[in-house]
Structure 1
C-alpha cells in the first residue's frame, strides 16, 4: 500500500537513478551525500532487494532497480507536469460572468469591447443563461442578475434601472388608432405580446390600469424579450417591455409608446450579485466599476428618452403581484 512506501526515499532513489550518482542527486536535492545514501539504504530495506550494484565508485541499477526506476520516473514526471499545469492555471487571469440571455445579446454585447480593452490580459468567459449561479458549487466570479433583489447571503448591488411601458411599431399604432381614439379601446383590440420572464407582465399592468375584459388575451407568449421585441418591431402587436432592451428601436423610431396616457414604470432591475468574498477580487472590482458607470449613463439616457416621449415616470421598488412566477430572461 502507498502508505507503507517511504515517498521521501523514493524521491531520493529516483534522483540517484536519473542522474547516475549520489553526489549529483545530493546537489539537486540540496542535501548531503550521506543523507542520500541513508535514504537509499532504507528504501532497499523496505523493498527487501538491492536496487543498485556498487562497484568501486560507480552505481548501476539492478533488474529490480530498473523496474522500480521506470515506474517512479514516470510517476514523478506526471506529477511535475500536473504541478506545472496547476501553476499555469493559477497564473492565468480568468473572469467568469453569468448574465441573462436577452440582456447579454442586446445590451452587454455591443458594449463589451470597452471592458475587454480595460482588461487585455484577462481571459473572459460570459455565460448567457437564465439560471442564477450557485456560487457554492459553480466556478463563477459574478452574476449580473435581472430581478428584484433579496438574494439571501449574497452581496448585491443595483446598477441599472428598467423603464417599462407598452410599445409597438408606428404602423401598428396607426392601425389601432384607426379603430379607436381611446387608448383603453386600442388595448382591447390589440394583440398583446407577453414576455413571460419579465418583472412586470401584462397581468399586473392590466389590473393596475383597470383594463379587463374577455378580449384581453395574449396568444403570443415568449420566454425571451429579444424575440418579443422583434415581433413588436415587425408589427405583430403591442409588447410591455423595457427601455434597457428596446433602446435602439425606441431611439430610431422603430418602436413607439402606445400612448402617453399610460405612465412608465421605473424600478431597479439589474444587480451585481456574488458572495461578499468575491468583491475583493481585482477583476470583480474592475467590472463592477465599469458596469456601474455605464449603468448610470444608461439610466440618464433612458430617462431623457422616456420624458421626451411625454410619458410620466412612476418610480417603483421592484414589486410583483403576489404569487407570480419570475425568472431571469
Structure 2
C-alpha cells in the first residue's frame, strides 16, 4: 500500500500543534478532513498514532516515535519546496515575555533579529501570564520566576544584579550610606524576587519602623518612577541598563551589598526546540545576552 504523503503532513501538523482544530485552521481544511487523513495514515502504518484524553488529543507511544522521526524531515521538505518555488513564506514566531523585559531589554535589541530574519514575522506578547503551551499559540516564553517547570525546557537568561537606583538629581551617585535610605521614599516592585527588607538585612541596617513607600506591580513602572525623581527603587541591572547607560538613573549608595539572581527563564516545550524559527530566535537571544553581559563587565567600574 503506497504511503499517503498528504496524510503524513497532516499528522505532522496535528502533532506539532497539539490540536486537530488548530491543524485544520493551519491547513485550511475541516477538522473532519484532518481526522480522515489521520485514520488513513494509521491504516497504512498498521498502528494507532493519536488517542484522546478528555477533550484533548495525545500521541500514542508509536505516534511520539513517528513524530520524532519525521519532524525534521517534514520541516526540511516544506522549506525546500518554498525555495524551489522562488520564495520563502512568512512564518510567525510568537514570543511571550513580561511587559518590563519586553519594554526595557528586548525591544531596544529587536532590530538585529528582524533584519537578519525577514522571513519570520515576530509577535511579541507582553504579559505576565505564564503560557499554556498546549492551548495557546506561543512558541517561546521568557518567564519570570525561579525555573524548574515540569515538562518544559528551561534555560536561565542571565544572572542579574540588583541595586538601589534613583535620579541623580535626587541623590548623587555614591552619596548615601545604607542607613540614609530611610530618609527617602522607597519604591517597591511588589512582584520582584528581591525586596527592600532583604536588602537592608544584607546591608546590616535595621529598616525603618515606618517607611515612606510607593508601590508598583510592574518593574518598568517602578523604574520610570525612580527616573522621574519620585524615590529610590531596588531593581535588576537587566531592566535598568538603558536608564543607567543614559544617566537617567544611578546608584546613590556607596558599596551596596551584592544581590545576584536569575529571574528570567527561556522556556518552551522540548519539541519546540526543533523548529527553525525557535532555534533562530534562541541563537539571537543568546548572542544578545552574551554581548550584554560583556558590556556590563566592561562598564562595571563606571555604572
TM-score tier (shorter): 0.5 to 0.7
1:235 to 229, 232, 235: 229
User: Which residue is 1:108 aligned to?
Assistant: 106
**Alignment partners' CA distance in 2, 1:211 and 1:221:** 21
Give the drift of 1:260: 2.7
> Aligned to 1:172, what secondary structure does the other structure show?
coil
Contact residue 194 and residue 218 of structure 1 kept, 8 A: no
Contact residue 168 and residue 235 of structure 1 kept, 8 A: yes
Give the drift of 1:110: 1.5
> Aligned to 1:169, what secondary structure does the other structure show?
coil
Per-residue CA distance 1:148-172 (angstroms, 9 max, x = gap): 2111221111222311111111121
Contact residue 249 and residue 255 of structure 1 kept, 8 A: yes
Matches within 5 A, 1:259-298: 259-298=253-292
Task: Give the TM-score normalised by the residue count of structure 2.
Answer: 0.67
Matches within 5 A, 1:1-329: 82-83=28-29, 93-174=91-172, 183-309=177-303
- 1:96/1:304 CA distance change after superposition, 3 Å: same
**Alignment partners' CA distance in 1, 2:299 and 2:210:** 29
Give the drift of 1:215: 4.4
**Consecutive unaligned residues in structure 2, runs of 5 or more:** 1-26, 35-77, 79-88
- 1:274/1:218 CA distance change after superposition, 3 Å: farther
Give the drift of 1:216: 5.0
Give the drift of 1:201: 1.6
Per-residue CA distance 1:198-227 (angstroms, 9 max, x = gap): 221212212332332444524200011111
- 1:176/1:113 CA distance change after superposition, 3 Å: closer
Per-residue CA distance 1:73-129 (angstroms, 9 max, x = gap): xxxxxxxx9439x99xx9752211100101101211111121111221222211100
RMSD value, Cα = 2.7
- 1:169/1:281 CA distance change after superposition, 3 Å: same
**Alignment partners' CA distance in 2, 1:108 and 1:175:** 27
**Alignment partners' CA distance in 2, 1:192 and 1:241:** 12
Task: Give the TM-score normalised by the residue count of structure 1.
Answer: 0.62
> Aligned to 1:83, what secondary structure does the other structure show?
coil
Q: Looking at CA atoms only, which structure, 1 or 2, has the larger radius of gyration?
A: 1
- 1:120/1:201 CA distance change after superposition, 3 Å: same
The count of aligned residue pairs is 223
Contact residue 173 and residue 253 of structure 2 kept, 8 A: no
Contact residue 176 and residue 190 of structure 1 kept, 8 A: no
Give the drift of 1:298: 0.8
